[in-house]
Amino acid sequence: MACYRVQECVEEAIVDPVIVLVESTGDVEQRTLQGGTALMRAASDGNLAVVRYLIEAGAQVDAVDDYRRTALLCASCAMEKFDLIFDVVQFLVKCGANVKASDHGGGTPLHDAAMRGNVRVVRYLVECGADINVSTESGDTPFLYAAMSGNMEIIRLLHKIGANIHAVGSTRQTALLSAAKYEHLELARSLLANGADIEAVDQIQQTALIIATESKNLEMVRFLVENKANINAMDFSKQNALMYAVLRGHVEITKFLVKHGANIHAVDAYGSTALNQRVWKTNFEIIKFLIENGADVNTVEISGENVLMRASDCGDSKTVRLLVKNGADVNVADNHKWTPFMFAAAKRNLNVARYLVASGAKTTDWGNNEMIKKIMYGRKSGGVIRYLLGENGGINVGDEFGRTLLMYAAALNRMDIVQLLVQRGADVNATDDENYTALLHAANGSHWDVARFLVRKGANVNAVDNSGLTVLIHVARWEYDLWYHVETIADVHDADMPQLTADIDAIRLEHQFDIIPWLIKAGINVNAADKSGSTALIHAARWEHQFDIIPYLVEAGANVNASTTSGCTSLLYAAQTNRVDIVRLLVEAGADVNFNNGRAALIVASSMGNLTVVQYLVDSGAGVNAVDSEGQTALIHASKNGNLDVIKFLSHSDVRIDVKDKDGWTALMYAVQNGSLDVVEFLLVSGADVDIVNNDGHTSIFIATNNDYTDIQRLLLQHIHHFHQTKGASHTQLPINCFISPFEVKLHQFIESQNVGGNYRALWLDTEVAVKLFVPEASATTFAHEVAVWHQLRHPNVIKLYGACDVGHHFFVCEWASNGSLFEYLSACETRGERRTPWKFLYEAALGLAYLHERKIVHGNLSNNSILIGNDGLAKLADFQVSGSATIPSGGRQDGCFGSLRWNAPERLKGEASSLASDIYSFCLCVMAAVTLKIPWDDGFNGYKKMIHICEFLLQQLSGFWSSLQHKNF
């Protein structure tokens, strides 16, 4: 803020406040947002007093802003106060300012002063050693800049001291080309007198003569021609000076160039001569002059257009008459078969069109129809259309799409033209290539006044197009047609949508619903269906805004049980909304609530969460256990979408809760997949079976584990049926020294925390243990392999496995870690009044990990919860691969990546298998968490970058330590 206050004082040329502000802040180099300093501002304003004070106060004379501009560059660029600017420039240079400094574009103080025309500054900078031939990044020299400004005194000065007058700058611009462009005649004279190349061209190959002509500078054109400029030189588009004179409509230059030998018959890259240039408005005097000098009135360009067509298009009757009298062909056609007559008629230039016809222009039915189609979009076109129809014997001729004029008029809602065409004999039942009639075109645009008129004139009210659409279907799908038009054609912004919706509603209320009774009275077939099998009733049911016409259709006898080819009925579509009144209307009219062709109304309503509709359908006899084409019930669909109210209602309606779909998934599984804790809880209370396995061999617990839904996983574990207490011998596949009978284990409580080594706190032969359930889908190996590998591990820093059971539910019996995780233990040290010793525990954990790695065992799941503190106060590794351990794989990739993602190495996130390296990466994150008591990545991407640096440091520090551990004997 202080910086801007200094800038304000500098702008007002008040020294004292500047002094006060600078001294109060102690910073003379305060910057604006663009990096500008107070010194730069004062210099550009020519404020010598402020400049002197700021430099004496310590301002850096060559400081640069974001554009690499210095104070000297700012002063040199000033457009006024040249005397004051000179004093500032002189002072800055004496204070050491670099006269050769350049901005981000390579411009120097000399460039700027030359461009602004500041003679004194230019002379002074040159005297101080400024380079007169230095170029900007685009190649412009100070001399070229001076040529743009046209200051002869600077030009003479620079030339006198050796500036290169032949320099070529940006866009290959020379000083002479700039003189021609900016109308500096005196400069042009001087340059030619000193040997400048009169035929030099810029990057688009324009000479000085072409540029002067394009600028409409007659005096410069005359001077260049007199100095032997090539009058017929052409630019990159093969256009010469004469063509540009015609394009610019400059009569005097045109006459001068022709008089001095310009080629009147030259052809440009588009095939046009000077007479046939693409002008917006024809110039009678120029065209008359060119014709008098031998220009060919019938030359055409590559597109087939010529000067007569352009004059006809412009409505220039005077020029048209001149051209025709001089032999112009009135029947010439361009590449699109358009003639001068058609150009005139299409622009409603009726007088020109009549003159051309009187002069022999021929009209065709096709041509007239093309013009009528084009001018039909304009409201004031009736007179021209009547005239063209008078010349037309084929009013029913179709275009390339088979569409007639009547169809176009109906589609455009041009009632006046529709009436005129019908009066002249237009066929109201003619069809185009899509079998559309004029009536269908009108209905497609909801032009009902036109539709009524056509029906009164004999149009077939039951006409059907190639897609099976009738007029009634167009009414029913009006909402779809309109919004499709809005979304694909109209330029509608989000802010306009509320008003647009209101306007559409108004149109609907005003025009829509009196159409149905009229069509029914006219004999419309209410049960006609399109190619998809959709009737008008089905179309109306698809759009809630069209529901108001459903009672009309039902009353007229519409089949309420008609279905599309995909098995959809009007009841099914209505059930998607919560309009129980429409559902009731259809059911009372006979709609089958149990119609099921792969989809059923109750299933759809349940999926959408429409409770009132679900209740009505069930009360009306809809089967609650019906399945769709995927084998899914209404309960499954409600569970997939988390519709708890619907689920509760269905549960009281004799619904089967454990039905499996074609993939073996149950309602419970879908609820778990959706992460809906409240739905899962309700289904479990209602008796849903946790142990069901789908076709992929996965249970609900696996789905929860795979999606990292911890709360749902814990809830599901509480509802697993306890271990089978079967009488008699137990059959086990485990080694006898590993097997623990289920009768020896007594579960005490389910443990919410995962940081004690298992899921249950239990007693095994009076020893407190942790019982961990085996989830097959969450393990990389078999249960037997898990037990065999884990049971042989004996290390004080690895959780001990006492044994396992594979009778009934598979489970491990392992050491109870009463102190929880290392993270929890360290976090509670202050509360317990103990000193935190993270490195002691981390050392112990490292010993345990080294022990595993020595035996080629990859932990695979190191995280905040897998380093536990046992009863003996030692750190212990637990939770190998969620429920067990995994040996190092021989190769390939693993698809699964279990556990919290935040602890995984990058290659694990890509789906690669766990490795020793990924273990060490995860261990570094555990070190970081234990030392800082912060979970990795809690502050997003910034935390990620910080953690990467920390992990790299830790890896370097631990590398030597790790090597020593690997060589120890355990």
Residue 239, number of CB atoms within 10 A of its CB: 24
The closest of 2, 106, 102, 90 to 43, measured between CA atoms, is 90
Question: Do both 844 and 787 map to the same domain?
Answer: yes
Helix axes 218-226, 251-259, angle to 10 degrees: 10
Q: Give yes or no for residue 26 having a pLDDT over 80.
A: no
Confidence of residue 421 (pLDDT cuts 50, 70, 90): confident
Total number of domains in the chain = 3
The closest of 11, 43, 8, 3 to 27, measured between CA atoms, is 3
Is there a domain that residue 11 lies in? Answer: no
Indicate the pairing of strand 801-805 with strand 767-773: unpaired
Cα–Cα distance, 482 to 484 (Å, whole number) = 5
Cα dihedral: 609, 610, 612, 616 (round 10): -100
Question: Do both 430 and 477 map to the same domain?
Answer: no
Is there a domain that residue 851 lies in? Answer: yes
Cα–Cα distance, 799 to 869 (Å, whole number) = 10
Question: Do both 436 and 535 map to the same domain?
Answer: no
The closest of 289, 348, 351 to 322, measured between CA atoms, is 289
The closest of 520, 567, 519, 578 to 544, measured between CA atoms, is 578
Q: Lowest-confidence range among 26-40, 171-185, 341-355, 777-791?
A: 777-791
- 6, 99, 881 from 16: Cα distances, Å: 11, 30, 75
Range of the domain at 836: 778-792+815-966
pLDDT digit string, tens, across residues 483-533 = 334 333 344 445 444 554 444 444 444 445 577 788 888 888 999 999 999
Residues 6 or more apart whose Cβ sits within 8 Å of residue 274: 242, 243, 245, 246, 254, 262, 264, 266, 290, 295
**CATH code for the domain of 833:** 1.10.510.10
Is there a domain that residue 447 lies in? Answer: yes
Q: Give yes or no for residue 401 having a pLDDT over 70.
A: yes
Residue 52 host element (H or E): helix 48-56
pLDDT digit string, tens, across residues 114-148 = 999 999 999 999 999 999 999 999 899 999 999 99
Is there a domain that residue 920 lies in? Answer: yes
Residue 485, number of CB atoms within 10 A of its CB: 12
Question: Do both 402 and 538 map to the same domain?
Answer: no
Cα–Cα distance, 210 to 247 (Å, whole number) = 12
The structure tokens listed for 482 are: 């309109």
Is there a domain that residue 933 lies in? Answer: yes
Tell me phi and psi for residue 747, to 5 degrees. -75, 135
**Mean of the per-residue pLDDT values of the chain:** 83
Helix (H, G, I), strand (E, B) or coil at 747: strand
Which position has the higher pLDDT, 215 or 446?
215
The structure tokens listed for 322 are: 């001149």
Tell me phi and psi for residue 693, to 5 degrees. -110, 135
**CATH code for the domain of 475:** 1.25.40.20
**Section 742-755 average pLDDT:** 69
Confidence of residue 947 (pLDDT cuts 50, 70, 90): low
Question: Do both 869 and 950 map to the same domain?
Answer: yes
pLDDT digit string, tens, across residues 806-839 = 876 788 999 988 888 898 889 888 788 788 889 9
Question: Do both 493 and 376 map to the same domain?
Answer: no
Question: Do both 514 and 401 map to the same domain?
Answer: no
Domain stops at, among 460, 483, 510: 460
Is there a domain that residue 439 lies in? Answer: yes
**Section 181-193 average pLDDT:** 93
pLDDT digit string, tens, across residues 220-279 = 999 999 999 999 999 999 999 999 999 999 999 999 999 999 999 999 999 999 998 876
The structure tokens listed for 689 are: 């079976």
The closest of 273, 270, 206 to 236, measured between CA atoms, is 206
Cα–Cα distance, 435 to 853 (Å, whole number) = 77
3-state helix, strand, coil in the chain (%, to 5): 50, 5, 45
DSSP class of 771? E
CA angle 51, 52, 53 (to 5 degrees): 95
**Section 751-775 average pLDDT:** 73
Cα–Cα distance, 75 to 719 (Å, whole number) = 83
Is there a domain that residue 492 lies in? Answer: yes
C-beta separation of 740 from 765 below 8 A: no
Question: Do both 783 and 869 map to the same domain?
Answer: yes
Cα–Cα distance, 359 to 857 (Å, whole number) = 101
pLDDT digit string, tens, across residues 271-312 = 999 998 876 677 899 999 999 999 999 999 998 999 999 999
Cα–Cα distance, 638 to 631 (Å, whole number) = 14
The confidence score (pLDDT) of residue 510 equals 44
Question: Do both 541 and 444 map to the same domain?
Answer: no
Is there a domain that residue 147 lies in? Answer: no
The confidence score (pLDDT) of residue 941 equals 44
Residue 379, number of CB atoms within 10 A of its CB: 8
Confidence of residue 1 (pLDDT cuts 50, 70, 90): very low
Question: Do both 960 and 826 map to the same domain?
Answer: yes
Identity of the highest mean pLDDT range in 42-56, 173-187, 544-558: 173-187
Which position has the higher pLDDT, 780 or 589?
589
Domain stops at, among 412, 430, 460: 460
Question: Do both 397 and 533 map to the same domain?
Answer: no
Question: Do both 958 and 945 map to the same domain?
Answer: yes
Cα–Cα distance, 274 to 246 (Å, whole number) = 6
Helix (H, G, I), strand (E, B) or coil at 133: coil
DSSP class of 117? T
Domain stops at, among 422, 440, 460: 460
